[in-house]
Amino acid sequence: EKEELKKLIEVEAVTKSGKRIEVAGNIGKPEDVHKVLENGGDGIGLFRTEFLYMDREEMPTEEEQFESYKYVLEKMENKPVVIRTLDIGGDKQLPYLVMPNEMNPFLGYRAIRLCLDRTDIFKIQLRALLRASVYGNLKVMFPMVSSLDEFQKSKEIVEECTKELKAEGKEVSDSIEWGIMVEIPAAAVMADELAKHVDFFSIGTNDLIQYTLAADRMSEKVSYLYDPMHPAVLRLIKMTIDGAHSQGKWVGMCGEMAGDETAIPTLVEYGLDEFSMSASSMLRAKQVILEQK
């Protein structure tokens, strides 16, 4: 079985009807790229950058972040690398960042909400990303977007950083793609509109499921409600894919569901373009994709 899977490392994930699907890896630390490459990954579908901020006493500097992003982009040699901006709050805390005490942290001060409030923190990361962009095929996405306004505000800050960098004589790629995670039901429902403005979507099912079914992803007591195949979740996924495709944009998925072999046939049927998962699931996922129509 293991040997069978290893034969797929160099094989492209193409369905029987000839659709090429990207099988990419999720990473948390720059060194994780090696596991993705060893398993034949087509790219990085999610770099969870909050790991660069965790287990330390202070914020990572622009220089430190730049080195990390550059490392990943160079190792991936022009394969797509989707880097997600800081997603802190909810279940993820930083020891040096004071957070408000909230009744419902998953519905509170989190991810892009925090970054748009703390533009000092956000700009350091964006500058590092923009500087790294010339070393590979960079795509950047914003987490927890609930409306167009948040995407547009984020892009304004990106523009500001780009101008600053150019004035400093630093190079920035002009082919970066800018996308959002679809992990709040509102974004899925509005996907056709949002798709007019973004370059791509990546569906974050870990959060999308919890928000759709009002079932905390951390709670064992309600885990029986947390069902990726719930028809409401499937409808939202389909709406997201259809919405993106209606505007000629591509859609990936980077939540756990993307690597779930029981879900993959449905996702292929819906037209999902990219599946991103832990490196250890990639070959089996490819095998399942190869069997689909």
Which residue number, 212 or 292, has a Cβ lying nearer to ligand PEP? 212
Residue 48 and residue 84 in contact, taking contact as beta carbons nearer than 8 Å? yes
Q: Which is nearer to ligand PEP, 60 or 255 (CB)?
A: 255
Q: Does 147 bind ligand PEP (CB under 6 A)?
A: no
In the complex, the smallest distance separating the C-beta of residue 151 from Mg ion, rounded to whole angstroms, is 16
Binder among 25, 185, 255, 259 for ligand PEP (CB under 6 A): 255
Does 217 carry a binding-site annotation? Answer: yes
Helix/strand/coil for 54: coil
CB of 203 to ligand PEP, least distance (A): 7
Distance CA(216)–CA(278), nearest Å, equals 22
Which residue in 5, 8, 9, 15 sits closest to 264, CA to CA? 15
176 three-class SS? coil
Rounded Cα distance between 143 and 145, Å, is: 6
Q: Rule CB under 5 A: say whether 207 interacts with Mg ion.
A: yes
User: Which listed residue (147, 173, 206, 266) binds ligand PEP by CB under 6 A?
Assistant: 206
The answer to whether the annotation marks 48 as part of a ligand binding site is yes
CA distance 60 to 50: 10
The single residue listed with the structure tokens 């690597």 is: 259
Tell me the per-residue interface mask from 158 to 197 with Mg ion, x by CB under 5 A, - otherwise: -------------------------x--------------
* Least CB distance to ligand PEP at residue 183 (A): 5
**Residue pointed to by tokens 């797509």:** 80
| Cβ atoms within 10 Å of 12's Cβ, excluding its own | 14
* Least CB distance to ligand PEP at residue 209 (A): 8
Q: How many CB atoms lie within 10 A of CB 289?
A: 26
Catalytic residue among 254, 267, 279, 289: 254
**Is 174 part of any known ligand binding site?**
no
Q: For the beta carbon of residue 273, count every other beta carbon within 10 angstroms.
A: 18
The 18-47 contact track toward ligand PEP, x by CB under 6 A, reads ----------------------------x-
Whose Cβ is closer to ligand PEP: residue 156's or residue 261's?
Answer: 261
Touching Mg ion, residues 242-271 (CB under 5 A) = none
Establish whether 113 is an annotated binding residue.
Answer: no
254 counts as catalytic: yes
Number of C-beta neighbours around residue 36 at 10 A:
27
Nearer to ligand PEP by Cβ, of 154 and 205: the residue is: 205
Is 55 annotated to bind ligand?
Answer: no
Q: Taking contact as CB under 6 A, which single stretch among the options 101-109, 126-134, 154-162, 203-211 is the one that binds ligand PEP?
A: 203-211
Q: Which structure tokens are listed for 90?
A: 């909810």
What are the CA-CA distances from residue 69 to residues 92, 140, 290 (Å)?
21, 11, 32
293 closest CA partner among 23, 24, 4, 14: 14
- Per CB under 6 A, 254 contacts ligand PEP: yes
27 bridge partner residues: 47
20 annotated as a binding-site residue = no
Strand ranges inside the chain, DSSP E: 22-27, 44-48, 80-84, 137-142, 177-182, 200-203, 250-253, 274-277
Which residues are part of a known binding site for phosphoenolpyruvate? Answer: 48, 84, 206-207, 217
Which residues are part of a known binding site? Answer: 48, 84, 183, 206-207, 217
- Which are the catalytic amino acids? 254
Which residues are part of a known binding site for Mg(2+)? Answer: 183, 207
**Site residues (CB under 6 A) for ligand PEP?**
46, 48, 87, 183, 204-207, 254-255
